[in-house]
Structure 1
């Protein structure tokens, strides 16, 4: 034990003697460890924020919209418009690859007037199961139900931004709202979605599908049962491509065109989008992690160089110690301990700096699509493992070189 503390004291004195050199060497390792943790944390923050942002719209849903199909031999100059309708929805709902679906009528030209204000916004008509497909949390009041749908009740739920504009400082639930002059009762309000104003999602009004079809049907469709789009969920997440193919086949059959014409469809697959974002995040993590590891490796190389310089400077000391009885093991342990301490202390500084940086990020106002970075356990294990390897390499090679010096040769070199 005395030998260990003696070596420890010698290492500290050696580091203190060359303070600037030790500081610069440790800075390289600290920068590498901190960069690795922080860069991967930023990448994971992007992944978590994007995933959370997409989840705020709904879970594993897909949408198909009205489209255009070439009328003659694939010519885009003579295409015809087709509109989805309620029968399309019924057929899609009954598909073996679809577990849930809802028709949606959408209007953006309706005027909303309350006792305290007025506005334009997004007005949707959908069936009650829509809330189980798209994220639609109720803040106050109640959600729309099947009784509203069957009875064509003139009720609605409104988004957070509509509450602020149309009922500033007043309760919205139970109040009357005129939609293009038609009175509706506000049955509930929706929770705020995302950060900031995010007006696109928070300025929404939803009413029963049958009520919307009665009072505010689709414009320009020429069909009283036309819908703007149909939202649906595949029977399982893994079968989303089969569900998309089945839905396209249904729409093509009902509207008389070939389902193998991809340009005839306008649809969106949130599952495919999420998978693409995941691949982008994986690539970012790999790149950022590689940058951090390279930086850490460069720091380790710096430690090796400094230790080799230290061995050269202390050649006479090594010769004297070996002449006075120090064993090869004693020399090996001292220089190995010095390299290990340089990497260990600087690694701890790097981890601490990365932790402080993640806390400072918490002072920045939140942004949509980005979660605050934090130190992830897997990254910490990678950093510690890389640091341990760097410490072993940085300490062992110079230590072996120092221990292999012969006393007579060491003393001769310094004379």
Structure 2
């Protein structure tokens, strides 16, 4: 019986192909929209996690100021002694790197380019998760005397030197020139949309003397051991900085200690919430598609009233007529779901490439969308099917 019912449903769909396709269109759009939104959302979440991870694993960032964001209020900067105290007085710390940042126009090879300039120590490359693609980092003597050497990122290399080897070349930063001794491996776009490769790195002393003109430190990067208790280490770090900055018990911190893992979790959570909201909005079109199926099935019942009367008159049971129209509605919805999944796959791959985020295929959301589309067929197809099954055979045979 089930096979015959399915064949009857497919025959009716094939008989009115255009109408059947237009009936399925709402389901197709709804399924493809839901799957595309969720897939892109998952890809965006993975991209954010990867970008945060590129800052460094098990990393704490110590920054001046009472709180982050607008109106956060400034706080006194850090000194070299603060860096030394963190490295020597807190257990579980692997490496510590001071960081001074500025922006400047770089000039080399007859070209100029605006980039971020960072001053730090050799530890910075390891703490901030940078690799040296070619050349080397800073020698201890170069750090101590503030030598005019630098390491450049992939974007700076491309804009100033093109495909040529930059090692040994001179780059002018403001009023002095430095020799390129290393080229950083590429990281790509950062979590805030910035180009992480658009930078030039100088020894800390060189940066302080020749670029910014002071000995203040903007940020301290603290890399923890894998086995370290993050909460305990963070609390110890805050206590040490409060003591060094002579804050009373009633005073608020005039600095912030940020954990990159917490930043990643927060941003990932935000992205997931936005994905759920977009998916819920897209799911509304599935309901609209279900209403379209119910409307067309009611029209079909009216058109086939005489056929239904003949079937009932020769002995067909009400449940058989009900099943015939219900299966027809489910087949329409299920076919729409399959077409929607195919369109969503193509759209997700294309948009992921366009947005430069990973394509995150999720079999569960595809199966869930398909099951939901079939359920839409059952829910919205039941009323027309019930109406067809309850027709009076005599009245149905008289219908013109």
Tell me which interval the TM-score lies in, with the shorter structure as reference length.
0.7 to 0.9
Aligned pairs for 1:332-371 (under 5 A) are 332-361=322-351, 364=354, 366=355, 371=357
Query: Conserved in 2, the CA contact under 8 Å of 1:318 and 1:331?
Result: yes
SS at match of 1:62: strand
Partner of 2:279: 289
Instruction: Name the structure 2 match of 1:254.
Output: 244
Q: 1:189-200 maps to which residues of 2 (within 5 A)? A: 189-194=183-188
Cross-structure match for 1:306:
296
Residue 82 of structure 1: SS of its match in structure 2? Answer: coil
Among candidates 364, 369, 378, match of residue 383 of structure 1: 369
In structure 1, distance between residues paired with 2:225 and 2:250: 22
Q: 1:119 to 1:314 in 2, by over 3 A?
A: closer
Match 1:101 to one of 96, 101, 105: 96
CA distance 1:145–1:341, change in 2 (3 Å): farther
- Is the contact made by 1:98 and 1:232 (CA closer than 8 Å) also made in structure 2? yes
1:306-361, Cα deviation, whole Å (9 max, x unpaired): 32443344333223212213344532432232112211221122122222323443
1:36 aligns to 2:34 (yes or no):
yes
Q: CA deviation at 1:36?
A: 0.9
TM-superposed CA distance for 1:287, in Å, is 0.8
Q: 5 Å matches for 1:103-182?
A: 103-106=98-101, 108=103, 121-144=115-138, 155-168=149-162, 170-177=164-171
Provide the rounded CA distance (Å) in 2 between the counterparts of 1:407 and 1:154.
98
Q: Distance in 2 between matches of 1:397 and 1:237?
A: 62
- CA-atom RMSD in angstroms: 4.0
After the TM superposition, which residues 206-225 of structure 1 pair with which residues of structure 2 at under 5 Å, given as runs? 206-209=201-204, 216=210, 219-221=213-215
Q: Tell me, which stretches of 5 or more residues in structure 1 are unaligned?
A: 70-75
- What runs of 5+ residues in structure 2 fail to find an aligned partner? none
SS of the residue 1:101 aligns to: strand
| Structure 1 contact 68–80 (Cα < 8 Å) conserved | yes
Paired position in structure 1 for 2:43:
45
- In the alignment, the residues of structure 2 paired with residue 354 and residue 202 of structure 1 have an alpha-carbon distance, to the nearest angstrom, of 33
SS at match of 1:325: coil
Q: Which of 50, 58, 61 is matched with 2:59 structurally?
A: 61
Q: 1:120 to 1:333 in 2, by over 3 A?
A: closer
User: Quick one: distance in 2 between partners of 1:260 and 1:64?
Assistant: 21
Q: TM-score, normalization: structure 2?
A: 0.79
1-side partners of 2:360 and 2:103: how far apart? 41
Aligned partner of residue 202 in structure 1, secondary structure: coil
TM-score (norm 1): 0.77
Q: Paired residue for 2:197?
A: 202
- Corresponding residue for residue 321 of structure 2: 331
**2: CA distance, partners of 1:184 / 1:164:** 17
Counterpart Cα distance in 2 of 1:380 and 1:172: 49
In the TM superposition, residue 112 of structure 1 has moved relative to its aligned partner by 5.8
- The secondary structure found in structure 2 opposite 1:58 is coil
Q: CA deviation at 1:296?
A: 1.0
Do the aligned residues in 2 keep the contact of 1:303 with 1:339 (CA within 8 Å)?
yes
